[in-house]
Structure 1
Amino acid sequence: MSFELVVIGGGNMGAALVGGLLDGGVVERDALAIVEPSPGRRAELAGLFPDLTVVDEVPPCRSAVLAVKPHTVPAVAAGAVAAGATRLLSVAAGVTTRAISEAAGEGVAVVRAMPNTPALVGQGVSAIAAADGAGDADLDWADSVLGAVGLVVRVDEGQLDAVTGLTGSGPAYVFLIAEALIDAGVLAGLPRDHAEPMVAQLLVGAAALLERDGDPAALRARVTSPGGTTAAGLRVLEERATRAALIDAVQAAAERSRELGA
């Protein structure tokens, strides 16, 4: 039989995609397969996804997700095409659509994506870019795959370095802020086992407000009373150039992404 979709690579991202695709009903269980060379990991995947096909070699398929290490992408792409795939979606960092297309050959639609780690809990952000020769239908397909694990935006490939700096590396910035807030709560007198869930819920709640209202400046102003506690705290953050530091961090990560992809 020929599978509708094969996910090549059963690591964290590959497994997250499979879980999202199944939970969202994007692909039927019998039309989906995972390819994973490690016997131990295959056993884990079989436990996670009962009755799903988990194999060590690419089976006949119509499309494939390349969730593998960047240096293996060209060979894996060629193998997927040899198995019949006419659409490829790569979630490997730094591998250009040109490199993938050259390995895949003519007549294969290639889409490159930059997801981020919150995809592991279905709350990711993924940016997708099409290779020359890939059309709107191919982007729609990639959108449906990655939409199973979060938000998807369409960009030009040249913008993927900026995406890497912002949402690819962004979770680490948020986690650093969370660490600092937890430590601050402890310093202020809270037990750590109270501060940790409080900060986690703080971030979840603030994100929900931002998603609903879409204007961070207005939300900040709403919670900042003249001469109040929040104003005092924000004054320190502005004096310490927190805003500029975050902007510089995104720029540095984007530049490093460009260097690695050169």
Structure 2
Amino acid sequence: MQKKQRVLFIGAGRMAEALFAGLLHTSKEHIAEIVVSNQRNQERLTELHEKYAVSTTTDWKQYAADVDVIVLAMPPEAHEQLLTELSPLVSNQFIVTVAAGIGPSYLESKLPKGAAVAWIMPNTAATIGKSISLYTAGSFVSKGHLEILQMLVKGIGDAQLCTEEEIHQLTAVTGSAPAFLYYFAESLIEATKRYGIDEITAKHLVIKMITGSASMLESENNPAMLREQVTTPGGATAAGLKVLYENNFMNMIQEAIEATNKKASGKTIQL
């Protein structure tokens, strides 16, 4: 990377914080300045300035023309107006969004011709540097832009380069499925409490079981093999799995993914 980057974040929520905190942790030597904007919440800006020593502003427009990278960390529904206001200020800046449904094709349609744009789709684990993020770039990005994009995603965990269409299809798996896992954990906790175990102990048992199992899964990379290792034919685990098979647990998960994608496609901003 030839020069240190000045990065403007439009939005000061948890995802914006995860991204710039990640930059400062993993790529500080490549950063000249981080500016964080929020129009309504000065208290939030003060908190972020004190915690990370970033620059803050309630008027992002005064910085937009002079930065190298602009990260749009606003809800999808705010993008149309935001891009209308941003477009006259865009010359050579690299524009990156982290909003669901806002792909490069939409950004390019709203910004000056030739604008370099990209889309990152993180998940909630970005806040602890453990996201698996999906990302894609527009038609006019350079090698340098891709280096910046990879620097952004590196700060919040692992990442997978995708096509725009793949991100639309896979967001349910990487972005929404954590909620399915958390619901599974809730269900196990409630099942444990039915045996007279107090809630604190039940949570401890279930959470440690899930994190330990996840570590083994990451190490072995073979869920079917691990399931078979735990399952003695005709044994207790097999009896429990039989109930899941009979109730089409895998089909339920697939239907949940399909429902999520269907709902997300209805919210996707169309050209």
So what's the TM-score if we normalise by structure 2? 0.88
- Give 1:47's match in structure 2, choosing from 47, 50, 62: 50
What residue is the counterpart of 2:75 in the other structure? 69
Return the letter of the residue paired with 1:47. E
**What RMSD, in angstroms, separates the aligned Cα atoms of the two structures?**
2.1
Deviations 1:227-255 (A, max 9, x none): 22211111111112111101110111112
Distance in 2 (CA, whole Å) between partners of 1:158 and 1:238 is 32
Q: Is the 8 A contact 1:75 1:103 kept in 2?
A: no
What residue is the counterpart of 2:6 in the other structure? 4
- Give 1:125's match in structure 2, choosing from 129, 132, 144: 132
Change (3 A) 1:85 1:92: farther
Please identify runs of 4+ aligned residues in structure 1 that moved more than 4 A.
26-30
1:205 pairs with 2:212? yes
Q: Is the 8 A contact 1:34 1:53 kept in 2?
A: yes
What residue is the counterpart of 2:19 in the other structure? 17
Q: Is the 8 A contact 1:30 1:53 kept in 2?
A: no
Distance in 2 (CA, whole Å) between partners of 1:124 and 1:8 is 21
1:238 pairs with 2:241? no
Flag structure 1 segments of 5+ consecutive residues without an equivalent. none
Alignment of 1:95-114 (within 5 A): 95-114=102-121
Q: CA deviation at 1:83?
A: 6.5
Q: Is the 8 A contact 2:22 2:156 kept in 1?
A: yes
Alignment of 1:145-156 (within 5 A): 145-156=152-163
Return the letter of the residue paired with 1:168. G
1:224 pairs with 2:241? no
So what's the TM-score if we normalise by structure 1? 0.91
Distance in 1 (CA, whole Å) between partners of 2:91 and 2:155 is 24
Percent identical: 27
Give the secondary structure class of the aligned counterpart of 1:33: strand
Flag structure 2 segments of 5+ consecutive residues without an equivalent. none
Q: CA deviation at 1:22?
A: 1.1
Change (3 A) 1:66 1:235: same
Deviations 1:54-112 (A, max 9, x none): 11223120111110122322443452771665211100111232221232212321011
Residues paired across the two proteins, number: 260
Deviations 1:171-220 (A, max 9, x none): 11011001001011111332211111221122211111111111110111
